[in-house]
């Protein structure tokens, strides 16, 4: 049996999850692939916490050399958050000739070009299955299983916190703050959930998926990012009226004229499979030219699902498969620079909710402006007016984002509406 000692940087939920999975399934992994995986050393700022929680036979300390200078450790688990210390440790591990397995999506979305290039030059791999959608093996599916496909589009729910909040708002009729508080009580949301709710965590994950799918560099500033903080119960109800459900959707779509990249609250029609991804679950719907659509659904966070992905990478690296992949796949070495399409060039169906005075001519005024901007309406709904105000909701046929936004801006500017119009994209 080959011994596979690991060095773990950072002690948090993932490290604990890896220890738990090895305790329950280490023998199974050994019997499946002939590797005795164990954590040999842990480097953390809080060794006492590790010792009190129990880390088996691992040596625990604060000095990175405990791992970096141990020749028996060939694989480093980099489970440190943020991008500064994590980058330093990643570079140090690469310089020491060690492979890196990480769940840190921000690190790779921000510094991936540099880190992948350095790892490639040093002949080591950076494996990151755990960085995107936790327990769902989406990186392997996209990189290997769908390698023969031209990927046309990825539509994905990649943040369990946001999906839990939106599902809870819908199912329990709650407002945003109440649903967030419930997510925090149940441990689905961090005490500071900003990176989840503002869409940046989803954007980091989308950047990694798009990098593989389109063999391209994906600078984060080319991803349009909008969070869910302004979504209220009224939006959730409106979505239902229009036969849809709101999801924080990551979209990467290859068009003839460039690459559309965005993260935004989106109306997902109720008959689309992503509409049925509820609570803290993630879902990734990928469209390949040969395979057609493929949907993966599962748990995108949590100690055990994330540990499942980390250990899959460990086996891949320890068996030498990952290094072959890293040598062969060009996205590790840089990738192309496609044309990135901005918001005005996005091409989608859109939704608008107008709050208007309840009097003759308003609807005609709105449809007049829409038609002047080439906006074709797919469906329209007006609720019962109350206190002299009415709500008119429309869904459009797919059109250029620029045309839609300028029509809405024109409608609001000409005084047809009583409040700024709420707009959402539709899948
Ligand atoms: N906080 C993320 C989520 C998991 O809620 O999905 C880590 O990226």
* Catalytic annotation present for 205: yes
| Domain presence at residue 339 | no
Output the pLDDT for position 415: 93
165 and 281 in a common domain: yes
How would you list the strands of the sheet with 35-43, edge to edge?
59-61, 35-43, 2-9, 75-78, 99-102, 126-127
Instruction: Answer whether 43's CB lies under 8 Å from 62's CB.
Output: yes
Instruction: Answer whether 308's CB lies under 8 Å from 135's CB.
Output: yes
370 and 265 in a common domain: no
> Count of domains in the chain?
3
Per the structure, the complete domain to which residue 166 belongs is given by: 138-300
296 and 312 in a common domain: no
Answer yes or no: is pLDDT of 332 > 80: no
- Whichever domain contains 374, its CATH number is 3.30.70.260
* Reported confidence tier of residue 51, pLDDT bands at 50, 70, 90: confident
152 and 37 in a common domain: no
- Whichever domain contains 328, its CATH number is 3.40.50.720
**Residues 377-410: tens digit of each pLDDT:** 999 999 899 999 999 999 999 999 999 999 999 9
- For the chain, what is the mean pLDDT? 95
Cβ-Cβ contacts under 8 Å for 28 (sequence gap 6 or more)? none
418 phi and psi angles, rounded to 5 deg: -100, -15
Average pLDDT, integer, range 146-153: 97
381 and 410 in a common domain: yes
Pocket residue to mutate for ligand 1, from 103, 104, 160, 199, most atoms within 8 A of Cβ: 160
40, 105, 205, 247: which is the annotated catalytic residue?
Answer: 205
Residue 269 CA to ligand 1 centre (angstroms):
24
Residue 188 CA to ligand 1 centre (angstroms):
8
Residue 34 CA to ligand 1 centre (angstroms):
32
Parallel, antiparallel or unpaired: strands 281-288 and 244-255: unpaired
408 and 259 in a common domain: no
293 and 364 in a common domain: no
Residue 385 in tokens: 């007016």
Identify the residues whose C-beta falls under 6 Å from ligand 1: 159-161, 196, 201, 300-301
| Domain presence at residue 312 | yes
387 and 268 in a common domain: no
């Amino acid at each position: 049996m080959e011994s596979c000692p690991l060095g773990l940087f950072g002690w948090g939920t993932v490290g604990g999850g890896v220890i738990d999975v090895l305790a329950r399934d280490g023998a199974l992994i050994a019997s499946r692939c002939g590797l005795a995986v164990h954590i040999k050393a842990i480097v953390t700022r809080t060794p006492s916490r590790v010792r009190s929680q129990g880390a088996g036979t691992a040596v625990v300390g604060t000095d990175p050399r405990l791992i970096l200078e141990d020749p028996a450790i060939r694989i480093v688990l980099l489970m440190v958050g943020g991008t500064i210390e994590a980058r330093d440790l990643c570079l140090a591990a690469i310089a020491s000739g060690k492979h890196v397995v990480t769940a840190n999506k921000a690190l790779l979305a921000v510094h991936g070009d540099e880190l992948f290039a350095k790892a490639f030059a040093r002949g080591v791999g950076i494996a990151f299955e755990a960085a995107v959608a936790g327990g769902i093996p989406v990186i392997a599916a996209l990189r290997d299983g769908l390698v023969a496909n031209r990927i046309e589009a990825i539509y994905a729910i990649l943040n369990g916190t946001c999906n839990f909040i939106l599902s809870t708002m819908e199912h329990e009729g709650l407002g945003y703050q109440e649903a967030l508080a419930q997510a925090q009580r149940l441990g689905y949301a961090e005490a500071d959930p900003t990176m989840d709710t503002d869409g940046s965590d989803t954007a980091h994950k989308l950047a990694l998926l798009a990098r593989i799918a389109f063999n391209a560099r994906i600078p984060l500033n080319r991803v349009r990012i909008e969070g869910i903080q302004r979504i209220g119960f009224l939006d959730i109800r409106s979505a239902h009226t229009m036969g849809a459900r709101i999801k924080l959707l990551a979209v990467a779509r290859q068009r003839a004229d460039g690459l559309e990249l965005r993260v935004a609250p989106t109306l997902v029609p109720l008959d689309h499979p992503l509409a049925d991804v509820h609570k803290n679950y993630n879902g990734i719907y990928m469209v390949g030219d040969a395979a057609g659509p493929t949907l993966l659904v599962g748990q995108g966070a949590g100690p055990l699902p994330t540990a499942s992905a980390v250990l899959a990478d460990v086996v891949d690296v320890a068996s030498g498969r990952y290094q072959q992949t890293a040598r062969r796949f060009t996205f590790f070495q840089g990738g192309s620079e496609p044309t990135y399409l901005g918001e005005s060039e996005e091409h989608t169906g859109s939704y608008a909710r107008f709050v208007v005075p309840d009097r003759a001519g308003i609807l005609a005024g709105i449809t007049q402006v829409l038609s002047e901007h080439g906006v074709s309406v797919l469906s329209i709904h007006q609720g019962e007016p109350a206190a002299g105000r009415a709500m008119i909701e429309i869904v459009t046929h797919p059109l250029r984002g620029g045309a839609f936004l300028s029509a809405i801006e024109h409608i609001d500017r000409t005084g047809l509406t009583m409040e700024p119009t709420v707009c959402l994209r539709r899948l």
